[in-house]
Amino acid sequence: MGAFAVYHEKQVKELCALHALNNLFQDRECYNKMQLDEICRGLAPDDYINPHKSILGLGNYDINVIISALHMKDCEAIWFDKRKDPSCIDTSRIVGFILNVPSNYKVGFVRLPIQRRHWISIKKINGEYWNLDSKLDTPLLIGNEIQTMEYMRNQLQSNENQLFIVCTKEVEKDQLWLLPEFRRVRVL
């Protein structure tokens, strides 16, 4: 097996959503700040202060921006109901995961009592799952499928963490992101 590189963007300003998207698709040129700002304007064209990003213009994009960006790639973000076990996910049919977690706001080394949200992508690359958190110095190897499901279970124990499954629109439409025994039967 030859060497491979895992693409990993590191945190700049409040652009974790941008980094999570580019890390998920393993492509630096997949999205840029200008595109995400344009999506924000499209989501709230008449608002002077856009509710989908930081008022300072540094990023801090919300899930609506991520969903719209994913639509540009013919993908969907499916909110995962944490009352279910993640082992019901057919990981062979998905692009990856986006995890939303709380994050403390810091200025230098001083932690402020402001709660922010942080976006992290998790992706299977070359047979192993990687945590591509932009706040990490390097990507973090999670491991195989079993280790990744255990990692997801641990993440979902926190009421504040949210998991989104990223898949193509076709996979989402027919619920193929779920293993067959967990899919709803469609009534015609």
> What is the C-alpha separation between 129 and 125, in angstroms, rounded?
6
3-state SS assignment for residue 60? coil
The answer to whether the beta carbons of residues 132 and 98 sit under 8 Å apart is no
Gap between the Cα atoms of 64 and 59, Å rounded: 13
* Residue numbers annotated as active site: 16, 118
Query: What end-to-end distance do the CA atoms of the chain give, in Å?
Result: 48
Q: In this structure, how many other beta carbons lie within 10 angstroms of the beta carbon of residue 43?
A: 17
Map tokens 């990856």 to a residue.
96
Cα–Cα distance for residue pair 57/66, rounded to 1 Å: 16
Location of structure tokens 């047979």: 127
